[in-house]
Amino acid sequence: MHIHILGICGTFMGGVAALAREAGHKVTGCDAGVYPPMSDQLRALGIDLIEGFGADQLQLKPDMWVIGNVVSRARQPDGTPRYPLMEAILDAGLPYTSGPQWLAEHVLQGRHVLAVAGTHGKTTTTSMLAWVLEQAGLQPGFLVGGVPMNFGVSARLGAGRHFVIEADEYDTAFFDKRSKFVHYRPRTAILNNLEFDHADIFDDLAAIERQFHHLVRTVPSTGRVVVNGLEESLARVLHAGCWSEVRSFGAADGDFTAEGEPHAFDVLRRGERVGQVEWSLGGVHNQLNALAAIAAADHVGVAPAQAAQALARFENVKRRMELRGTVRGISVYDDFAHHPTAIRTTVDGLRRRLPPGQRILAVFEPRSNTMKLGTMKSQLPWSLEQADLAFCHSGGLGWDPREALAPMGGRAQVADSIDELVRQVVQAARSGDQVLCMSNGGFGGIHGRLLQALQNA
């Protein structure tokens, strides 16, 4: 089968492309604004990438057009289609489907699917779970919304029966407004946490809870739902109905709990010590991610002690507290955090690892659709509480970040361009500082630009 993927460079659609290629299908695709790591990974797989969404791509004549949710029926200010290829596909009556549906029909069918859902930590927890199953000899397939450093790729078919997938609550495509994860039909489902997000498609938290309950409805009675016992929103999801075995983690009375610091802790199952995790990761959020992965792996026969040993060799995911370089004693990190809660837990996790007196310079751009809308702008000072200084890129916002960050006083600065942002950070930085750059996009290559500017200063 020849498939042509529209929006191929998104982390999810890039993963679909990699799986299809590995399965022996011919894969081509198109996108705009291509940037690594996904573009590099696709080219390394021999997948031809076309820049833009021109209707001339009809000449490729694939068997199926796979449509990413970046594609819409939107029009330019002059009235022309923003995605002329999609309009041409519709006009010609050609076969098309969504990425999640193609995946469900051609990859997940007949597999034991382990799906990881949640507002935060999906990519990291999915990577942890895949690594635990790999170390247990189960040879799982996986699709992760990032590049796990233990594997070096975001997706693979795997030789075993199990398939681990990052289960996103964002909608499927312009013609299918259900959450992606409804297509996956997991036998093991992790509900890691649940907060309001995606203000561009969800009206409120209750709307997202409804989608999570749709996921719960698809888990069979012989399946397992692994749920964060600290989240009231998830308690409401399960209260709406659950037909599967439930195992909780995190809460003191939960099935799986931790005792100790996030970098070194005992794993307890109903109060009994069953394993110990000692690793390089920090932050309570990663401790909870680990418990979720251990509880899910337990469902497919991997003992908690074995899972804990595997996590000791877990190397995290690219763009998750990834050290990009150190110049003049100043370290520059890259992280994917973009929701206020994720920003706070990321900064707090770094703070816990630093000796007293060492400074954190938080550099961020409110780039997600929710943040661009300004829905959570009032939470920014709270999210940056543990940072010594904060630097915000204001490009493309319809609200004033200076006003939102005013409660931080002189600890916060705002720049309208990346060049100005780099200048501000370099002027403020001193030896021993940890510069933490947070964005869910390329951030204008700020990491390399900061390191170069620090070198030249």
Which residues are annotated binding-site positions for ATP?
118-124
Q: What is the DSSP letter of 182?
A: G
Give residue 390's identity as a one-letter amino acid code: A
Known binding residues are 118-124
Instruction: Please tell me the distance from the alpha carbon of residue 377 to that of residue 165, in angstroms, as a whole number.
Output: 31
Question: For the chain, how many residues are written?
Answer: 457
Rounded to an integer, what distance in angstroms lies between the CA atom of residue 308 and that of residue 358? Answer: 31
Is the CB of residue 331 less than 8 Å from the CB of residue 433? yes
CA distance 263 to 280: 6
CA distance 18 to 46: 10
Whole-number CA gyration radius for the chain? 22
CA distances to 114, 140, 156, 380 from 137, in Å: 16, 8, 15, 43
Cα–Cα distances in angstroms (integers) from residue 253 to residues 247, 258, 271, 287, in the given order: 11, 11, 9, 16
89 touches 99 (CB < 8 A): no
Q: List own/partner pairs for 270-277 with CB under 8 A and 24 or more apart.
A: 274/303, 274/304, 274/305, 274/308, 275/303, 275/304, 275/305, 275/306, 275/307, 275/308, 275/309, 276/308, 277/308, 277/311, 277/312
Q: The tokens of 278 are what?
A: 């000692």
Helix (H, G, I), strand (E, B) or coil at 143: strand
Would strands 256-261 and 264-269 be described as parallel, antiparallel, or unpaired?
antiparallel
8 Å CB contact between 187 and 114: yes
Q: In angstroms, rounded to a whole number, what is the distance separating the alpha carbons of residues 121 and 316?
A: 11
